[in-house]
């Protein structure tokens, strides 16, 4: 008996490998105690199954982002924030460089981050600082994470600068308040920015700290750049003058939660669009469609 012939279907092709998940980037802005709102945003996203692959941050955003990138849960970050007291973190300085000494803050950061270095973090993370001698934005991605966070949070005149690699590093918000563009540079397909600067103060600043806070909100072109670099900007409802008020941390965490809850449908829609765009590019070629923004 002759073998039964089978139709020639040509060479067998291996099934294409499954597409990598869409990488979400979170850019967390500076804002002193207002940065507690980032905890609420992270908590809502985590509970919704939206886990960022990339986190960038300036100042308070660098602190919250570093803790999250180190693997600390939002529950633990919330508990840590609730335990904060300025006397445990800073004391009046005995130098001409700043109002407060941050040696205690440095030890707190090192303990909270378990002395981790950037290459030991669970997520891709970068902090922004500003070189006081040149005004240049400095991206911190290596070495001890606690030192990078301390530099990113060094508000000029309030906290002392951090000397590193021949640079004098101060608050990252002076150079890039919400580093959304950096999140995309680090490989994020979708960038969600969280701006906790609050509305531009309409009250007359009456103290040195209020003047410094008001100055920090004045970045020419900052909003336009942020809206260009990010796919979505969240602006939790926080008090622009809130700087030292650790007693308001729970209030700001809740503001972050509310902003994130409102944004969840849009974040999911952005992921769906990014997945559809990737599928189309795989079948039609990358030249067939430009970026959808």
Residues annotated as catalytic are: 59, 171
Helices (H), 55-177: 60-69, 74-82, 86-89, 103-112, 145-152
The gap from C-alpha 108 to its chain's centroid, in whole angstroms, comes to: 20
The C-alpha angle 75, 80, 83, rounded to 5 degrees, equals 130
The β-bridge partners of 232 are 192
Nearest-CA neighbor of 27 among 214, 242, 197?
197
C-alpha to C-alpha distance for 54 and 184, rounded to whole angstroms: 9
- Give me the torsion for CA of 72, 75, 77, 83, rounded to 10°: -140
The β-bridge partners of 140 are 127
């Amino acid at each position: 008996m002759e073998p039964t012939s089978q139709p020639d279907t040509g060479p067998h092709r291996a099934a294409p490998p499954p597409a990598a998940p869409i990488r979400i980037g979170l850019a967390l802005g500076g804002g002193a105690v207002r940065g507690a709102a980032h905890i609420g945003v992270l908590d809502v996203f985590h509970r919704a199954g939206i886990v960022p692959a990339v986190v960038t941050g300036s100042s308070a955003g660098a602190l919250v982002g570093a803790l999250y990138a180190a693997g600390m849960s939002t529950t633990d970050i919330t508990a840590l924030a609730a335990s904060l007291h300025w006397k445990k973190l800073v004391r009046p300085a005995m130098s001409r460089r700043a109002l407060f000494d941050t040696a205690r803050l440095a030890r707190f950061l090192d303990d909270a981050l378990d002395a981790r270095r950037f290459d030991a973090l669970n997520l891709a993370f970068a902090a922004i600082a500003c070189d006081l001698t040149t005004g240049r934005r400095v991206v911190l991605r290596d070495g001890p994470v606690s030192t990078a966070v301390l530099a990113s949070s060094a508000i000029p005149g309030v906290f002392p600068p951090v000397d590193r690699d021949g640079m004098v590093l101060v608050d990252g918000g002076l150079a890039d308040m919400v580093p959304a563009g950096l999140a995309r540079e680090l490989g994020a397909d979708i960038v969600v920015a969280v701006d906790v600067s609050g509305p531009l103060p309409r009250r007359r600043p009456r103290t040195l700290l209020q003047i410094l806070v008001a100055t920090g909100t004045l970045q020419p072109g900052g909003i336009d750049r942020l809206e260009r670099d990010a796919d979505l900007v969240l602006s939790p409802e926080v008090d622009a003058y809130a700087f030292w008020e650790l007693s308001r941390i729970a209030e700001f965490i809740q503001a972050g939660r509310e902003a994130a809850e409102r944004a969840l449908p849009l974040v999911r829609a952005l992921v769906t669009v990014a997945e559809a765009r990737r599928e189309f590019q795989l079948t039609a070629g990358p030249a067939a469609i430009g970026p959808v923004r």
